[in-house]
């Protein structure tokens, strides 16, 4: 099965979709630093190149990608949900 998303570091909170992901889809991913497989069920549309939540996150929590803080969660995010400007504020502009 081809991977649907990539995780840069095992500690990351979000992975990157390598194709469009549909809600309700069980999708396989791979962790780039360990080679481990990751499976999750999507709960929203995640377009190619966008982020998908690897775990539940609460409002105010830092979100990590590349094992770096990329932003702060502005509204609760569930595992398998699309992570983007509607639920995270970029650390770049803070």
- pLDDT tens digit at each of 94 positions of the chain: 589 999 999 999 999 999 999 999 999 999 999 999 999 999 999 999 999 999 999 999 999 999 999 999 999 999 999 999 889 998 876 5
If you count DSSP H runs as helices and E runs as strands, how many of each does the chain have, helices first? 0, 9
Note whether 11 and 63 are within 8 A (CB): no
Range of the domain at 17: 5-93
Total tally of structural domains belonging to the chain: 1
Residue 21 sits in a domain of what CATH number? 2.30.130.110
């Amino acid at each position: 099965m081809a991977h649907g998303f990539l995780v840069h570091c095992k500690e990351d909170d979000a992975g990157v979709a390598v194709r469009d992901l549909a809600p309700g889809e069980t999708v396989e991913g791979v962790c780039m630093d360990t080679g481990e497989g990751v499976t999750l069920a999507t709960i929203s549309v995640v377009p190619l190149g966008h982020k998908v939540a690897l775990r539940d996150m609460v409002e105010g929590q830092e979100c990590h990608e590349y094992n770096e803080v990329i932003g702060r969660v502005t509204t609760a995010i569930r595992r398998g949900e699309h992570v983007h400007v509607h639920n995270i504020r970029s650390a770049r502009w803070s």
